[in-house]
Amino acid sequence: MRYPKTNKIEVADIYFGTTVKDPYRWLEDDRSSETKAWVEAENKVTQNFLSGIPFRTAIKTRLEKLWNYEKYTAPFKEGAYTYFYKNDGLQNQYVLYRQKDKGKTEMFLNPNTFSKDGTTSLAGIEFTKDGSMAAYQISEGGSDWRKVLVIKTADRSIVGDTLIDVKFSGLAWKGNEGFYYSSYDKPKEGSQLSGLTQHHKLYFHKIGTQQKDDKLIFGGEENKRRYIGADLTEDQRFLVITAAESTTGNELYIQDLSKTGSPIVKVVNNFKADHTVIASEDNKLYIHTNLNAPNYKIVTVDASNPAPENWKDLIPETENVLTAGTGGGRIFADYLKDATSMVMQYDMEGNLERTVTLPGIGSASGFNAKKTEKELYYTFTSYIYPPTIYRYIIASGQSVEYKKAGVEFDPSRFESKQIFYTSKDGTKVPMIITYKKGIELNGKNPTLLYGYGGFSVSLSPVFSTSNIVLLEQGGIYAVPNLRGGGEYGEKWHIAGTKMNKQNVFDDFIAAAEYLISNKYTSKDYLAISGGSNGGLLVAAVMSQRPELFKVALPAVGVLDMLRYNKFTAGAGWAFDYGTAEESKEMFEYLLKYSPYHALKPGVSYPATMITTADHDDRVVPAHSFKFAARLQEYHTGSSPALIRIETNAGHGAGKPTAKIIEEQADKWAFMLYNMGLTSRQ
């Protein structure tokens, strides 16, 4: 491979007496003409390589055929209408439709008209309680910075001005008067995409007024917080505010909106645990929390005296991790049992009414509805069970199939089984392995090992249309539930954070070794994949065990662990990662595994295709740029070390279908080609 020449400019930082060189730091400037030229040159090399793969077009054609079926989301009710999202097949963005009673279905919002190339997406919508107005967010080019438009639902006419520069925000309506939203002061110096965003602020926007006049509710000089969220209880009585410094742990505040001039009351005054208010009845609050309960529980408290010492257990902690929703005057406790769903229905007094009968072992989502509803809709899926929507009758517990996925896939031909393997330190880790029935365990099956392992994110089984390409060709898809995730509660999460982060990499490496030793695959047919924190995972393990993998696919990864906290909201990830500045020990630990720094000259690394996007303002593309430059400098051997940089796209949310299919086709083509295989279409 002949790669573009990447200039090296001597730059260094000193941490606790240790000098760390950073010759590719100039690539952090996403506004410079030099960086733009480098991106263009790298993309040219990558596309030249990919275009030379003889079966790349066949894979893309197959993906387009597989993708081309009607896709629906579960319906939800707002005012007099039932709303749902639908994609005809290859539309770039899902369209929001609505139906009144059993009348004619009508298109409500079509994000495909927001931009010519489909890169402007609908990033959330919230309705007033009576359904007469809605506020929706749009994202341009995948950016986390959003615009908010308000419309009358009767005729979709726009109300007032468009709000701009809104980031990491929900929208919480207070009657028809206005809504609460959160944002940061946009960086005034440097890049708008990579500039540091430090202090979140909660505002109230009154309909018919200008954004500059919006009232600051929380997050001023007296209470600076990195993340602030707001919601209203369904009866509109309480404003609930969550405030946090990192992605784990939050303060909790309430304000009684039924009393004019009511103060904001602090419920929890520290960041040691996570808390959300899931419901209220009169003066009683229902709180989902992991305070002194790593697997979570539900407690109740009187809003007039809401401090934690007054909390009473309603649904106590169990051995399984609990999330919760409400609907029809019931609580739905959704437990993770070895990373799969188990749902139990309780009344509001905490009495168990039934265990919900699910269609199988997999993932159920959507057990939420308004208090007055008699039914709700949930979606069930697994690695071999295409997403199917069920109508659930709350009083009887009956599930009725509502909408089945029309994807060209026969689940009876495939198998998905969970095994437990042993990690380096003896910890048992679950992994689900999916493949075509009757597969021969001869070590020659192309295998994709996917992982995440961070931020208490749980990987439960979900169907992927893209994965059909691998499975129908005799390939294997394997997903381990690594430490750092939330599959076994906060203890499992903590076991993969800061100076325990190596546990995550060891778990992933052990998963690879299990697949090899049990003849599912071998190192010549094993690829690893992950995005964001999962991109860090892939890049870290390929630097630690380069001989173990044939192909590495790190996507939008956090790859410079010494500087991740210098960009956008990166400082908020310190709970999981720690920072190079906090102590000598933490610096040395980060330096050892930081993918950008862990690469060594003269090493033959796996065939690598790094993917990122020029508008990613979550994990800035500089991480991937610098890692690619150093990988190309140090890598020996004949396997390619490429970077694929998507233009006018972000961290992933809202990416148009056309771009998704192109990226997935490139991924499978790159993987199979570098394993010496041909597509069997």
Which residues are part of the catalytic machinery?
532, 651
Pairing, β 526-531 against β 447-450: parallel
Handedness of CA 285, 287, 292, 295 (dihedral sign): positive
Contact predicate 436/465, CB 8 Å: no
Phi-psi group of 468: left, alpha or beta (phi > 0 → left; psi -120 to 50 → alpha; rest → beta): alpha
Q: Which distant-in-sequence residues (6+ apart) come within 8 Å of 45 by Cβ?
A: 1, 2, 3, 4, 642
CB atoms within 10 A of CB 412: 7
In the block, which residue shows the tokens 């031909």?
413
- DSSP assignment letter at 482: -
In the block, which residue shows the tokens 């540091």?
196
Q: Which distant-in-sequence residues (6+ apart) come within 8 Å of 427 by Cβ?
A: 483, 495, 503, 507
Q: 201 phi and psi, to 5 degrees?
A: -135, 140
Beta bridge partners of 125: 136
Contact predicate 658/92, CB 8 Å: yes
Return the biggest CA–CA distance within the chain.
72
CA distance 202 to 199: 10
CA distance 287 to 311: 9
In the block, which residue shows the tokens 């359904």?
131
CA distance 269 to 267: 7
Residues 410, 412, 413, CA angle at the centre, nearest 5°? 75
CA distance 373 to 377: 11
In the block, which residue shows the tokens 């325990």?
500
- How far apart, in Å, do the first and last CA atoms of the chain sit? 28
Contact predicate 350/400, CB 8 Å: no
- DSSP assignment letter at 226: S
Contact predicate 85/121, CB 8 Å: no
CA distance 657 to 674: 26
Contact predicate 595/536, CB 8 Å: yes
Contact predicate 670/55, CB 8 Å: no
Token pair belonging to 657: 């279908």
CB atoms within 10 A of CB 660: 17
How far, CA to CA in Å, does 429 sit from each of 339, 419, 507? Answer: 11, 8, 7
Strands (E), 525-592: 526-531, 551-555
Kindly give the interhelix angle for 533-544 and 584-593, rounded to the nearest 10 degrees.
80
Token pair belonging to 85: 């999202």
Amino acid in position 105: T
Q: Which distant-in-sequence residues (6+ apart) come within 8 Å of 24 by Cβ?
A: 6, 8, 625, 626, 629, 630
CA distance 17 to 68: 58
